């Protein structure tokens, strides 16, 4: 079969339907015979038109649903990124809150002690299990002396056993 022959029948049918609809729509007179033909054409084409309308409506819903899902996917990715950012902020906030609490407790401790107090941070611990010692970030230049007590909010937690001239932060 030739490619031209394959389209001949549907094309001819479409042209006949177009002609019938044109004649029906252009007729100004409503004769009973023409009315019967019009009813016949409408009753024959109505199921097909209803089917086409249903297919079109379904295709539209699928198409719009697809674009909605694409938009929802983008929005979901953006919301996940924001949630992760807020989680990181929450961690930073919690750390800052804990640091503030520790500093408030240490400030209260400094007010309770009648002697001069030097604040220090532990920067390293002795790796051996034989002695429980730590290295702090203060030295002789800051007023640290051997034998002085080491205080924490819980009370005395140790004493200074060795002092170096100065601590050099990096």
Encode pLDDT of 65-109 as tens digits.
Answer: 777 787 888 899 999 999 999 999 999 999 999 999 988 888 887
Rounded Cα distance between 66 and 62, Å, is 6
- Given a contact cutoff of 8 angstroms between Cβ atoms, the answer to whether 143 and 166 are in contact is no
For residue 42, pLDDT beyond 80 = no
Encode pLDDT of 1-25 as tens digits.
Answer: 455 667 778 888 888 887 777 766 6
Q: Which of 78-82, 86-90, 121-125, 164-168 is the least confident region?
A: 164-168
Question: What angle is formed at CA 13 by the lines to CA 10 and CA 16, rounded to 5 degrees?
Answer: 150
What integer pLDDT is reported at residue 167 of this predicted model? 63
Length of the chain: 170
Rounded Cα distance between 139 and 27, Å, is 110
- CA-to-CA separations, 114 to 111, 146, 156, 166, in angstroms, rounded: 7, 19, 14, 25
Percent of the chain predicted with pLDDT > 90: 15
Confidence of residue 127 (pLDDT cuts 50, 70, 90): confident
What integer pLDDT is reported at residue 100 of this predicted model? 92
């Amino acid at each position: 079969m030739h490619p031209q022959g394959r389209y001949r029948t549907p094309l001819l049918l479409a042209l006949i339907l177009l002609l019938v609809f044109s004649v029906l729509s252009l007729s100004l007179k409503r004769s009973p015979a023409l009315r019967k033909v019009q009813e016949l054409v409408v009753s024959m084409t109505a199921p097909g038109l209803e089917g086409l309308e249903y297919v079109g409506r379904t295709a539209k819903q699928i198409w719009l649903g697809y674009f909605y899902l694409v938009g929802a996917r983008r929005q979901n990715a953006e919301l996940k990124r924001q949630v992760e950012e807020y989680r990181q902020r929450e961690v930073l906030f919690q750390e800052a809150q804990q640091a503030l609490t520790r500093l408030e407790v240490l400030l209260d401790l400094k007010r309770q002690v009648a002697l001069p107090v030097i604040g220090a941070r532990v920067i390293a611990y002795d790796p051996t299990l034989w002695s429980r010692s730590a290295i702090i970030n203060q030295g002789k230049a800051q007023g640290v002396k051997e034998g002085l007590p080491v205080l924490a909010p819980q009370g005395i937690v140790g004493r200074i056993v060795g002092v170096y001239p100065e601590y050099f932060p990096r």
